Amino acid sequence: MKDLTLTTLEFGKTSIKAAALEALSTQLRGTLLRKEDAAYDEARSIWNAMIDRKPGLIVRCIGASDVISAVRFAHDNHLLVSVRGGGHNIAGTAVCEGGMMIDLSPMKSVRVDVAGRRATVEPGATLADVDKETQAFGLVVPTGINSTTGISGLTLGGGFGWTTRKFGLTLDNLHSADVVTAKGELVRASVAENPDLFWALRGGGGNFGIVTAFDFQLHKFGPQVLSGLVVHPFADVENVMREYRAALEKAPDELTCWVVMRQAPPLPFLPAEWHGKEVVVLAMCYGGDIKEGEKAMARLRGIGKPIADVVGPNPFTGWQQAFDPLLTPGARNYWKSHDFIELPDSAVGVLASAIRKLPGPECEIFVGHVGGAAGRVPPHATAFPQRSSHFVMNVHARWREASMDKTCIGWARGIYEAAKPFAAGTAYINFMPEDEVDRVEAAYGANYRRLVEIKRRYDPMNMFRMNQNVKPMEGKRAA
């Protein structure tokens, strides 16, 4: 093994002796990867193909001891660090340039305690990994809607999906976490142990340490749910959205319905003449008795004259993967998002105008309906503050060729600016691209100052900065 030059926290360079690298390697159950290693390119590749950074060193961790060794090595050598869980974050923060990437993706264990209704989940697990284990027992951790998403980043930033209105955000269901701090110490964070750190982890992202195990509360759910799509012609978008909002005013917590606006993909249940044409889709799921779900969905399914209605009983694990084919790795992606307290006609008009100017067939806008149980948590109870937002809009620009970067990014930014007058002003950090560093403080609102104080205590050097970063306060550093 040769000496290696790595990037420091100050974005300078430092030379690491071969003997030090050998010593680190012998401490690990996992492996060290350098640029010349065969597995290097695969390890640094993540979901968003726009991200093409090259770490100087990748530590592939198998357990908590590997994470501790990697963090201590990075701390002692003052190295720039990134942390990879599922590698799904839009900003590509899993990968740093020239520093050390701590790769948690091999850590995929999911252990279910059926009697206690708890699950212990390692940080490299995906939502599919979690669903497969928990749904085997008719239990669920409330998570997101794309099964290839990593549980770690989703939880630390929020986590919302089909079960949020019934059971709260993913972070609301976190009972405790094992965390490796910036000094390489393993601590437990819960309401009873290190409660300030536990508060910050629930919404504060990867700013405060590396979670090596999540302990989640489980809920009885499924394994069959009433779910599916109702597809409408885009010409009817204004009427569909008016009726959609009205139907949700008295929706029970068990019912979730999201809107997707895009060109119709070649789905087998859609007539061929609609493939490639603009449509508005109501995607819905009811987390309870099927017959009760049919009653709850009746008004939504009765809107207008849909092209197709494919709502029916489905395995929840299958429904969780329904959108995966539209979100596969390898494409270039850029997102812009807003939270909305309400969704007025004028905001709908902005979205409708944008869909009529789609820059490509994979670009879309979705509007997620949240609230319910997640909205009944006080905004200061966790670091995640957006408890009054009932709708989350994400403008998803997605394309294949680098020559389309300017057009597609410009399209997303234009919608964001046009919709800003109707937005709540907060932001969901998991949807923030790498050029939105100026939105971090606003995203946390009144919770930001407390996050800064906790960051100063747990990571005064800002080692964990490859994220939607909360910078530590100036002043004396914590011992």
Q: Residue 389's pLDDT is what?
A: 79
Q: What is the location of CATH 3.30.43.10 in the chain?
A: 4-103
Q: What is the location of CATH 3.40.462.20 in the chain?
A: 224-433
CB 104 within 8 A of CB 180: no
Match domain 110-220 to its CATH number in 3.90.1310.10, 3.40.50.300, 3.30.465.10, 3.40.190.10: 3.30.465.10
Q: What is the location of CATH 3.30.465.10 in the chain?
A: 110-220
CA dist 282 and 237 (Å) reads 11
What 8-state DSSP symbol labels residue 471? P
Q: In the chain, how long is the greatest CA-to-CA distance?
A: 70
Amino acid at 42: E
CA dist 349 and 351 (Å) reads 5
277-313 burial, b for 16+ CB within 10 Å, e for fewer? ebbbbbbbbbbbeeeebeebbeebbebeebbbeebee
Match domain 224-433 to its CATH number in 3.30.200.20, 3.40.50.2300, 3.20.20.100, 3.40.462.20: 3.40.462.20
Q: Residue 387's pLDDT is what?
A: 93
Q: Residue 288's pLDDT is what?
A: 96
Q: Name the one residue in this structure whose structure tokens are 């394309």.
A: 399
The verdict on domain 4-103 having CATH code 3.30.43.10 is: yes
CA dist 59 and 96 (Å) reads 13
Q: What are phi and psi of 140, to 5 degrees?
A: -150, 145
Q: Residue 119's pLDDT is what?
A: 98
CA dist 89 and 121 (Å) reads 19
- The pLDDT tens digits for 148-183 are 999 999 999 999 999 999 999 999 999 999 999 999
Nearest to 100 by CA among 172, 156, 20, 171: 20
Nearest to 340 by CA among 386, 385, 294: 386
CB 113 within 8 A of CB 178: no
Q: How many C-beta neighbours within 10 Å does residue 421 have?
A: 10
As a whole number of Å, the end-to-end CA separation of the chain is 35
pTM > 0.85: yes
- The pLDDT tens digits for 415-453 are 999 999 999 998 999 999 999 999 999 999 999 999 999
CB 258 within 8 A of CB 368: yes
CB 65 within 8 A of CB 29: yes
Q: Residue 1's pLDDT is what?
A: 80
Q: Which residues pair with residue 129 across a beta bridge?
A: none
Walking along the chain (479 residues) 10 residues at a time, the average pLDDT comes out as 95 97 98 97 97 98 98 98 97 98 98 98 98 98 97 98 98 98 98 98 98 98 97 98 96 98 96 97 97 98 98 98 95 97 96 97 97 96 93 97 98 98 94 95 95 98 97 56
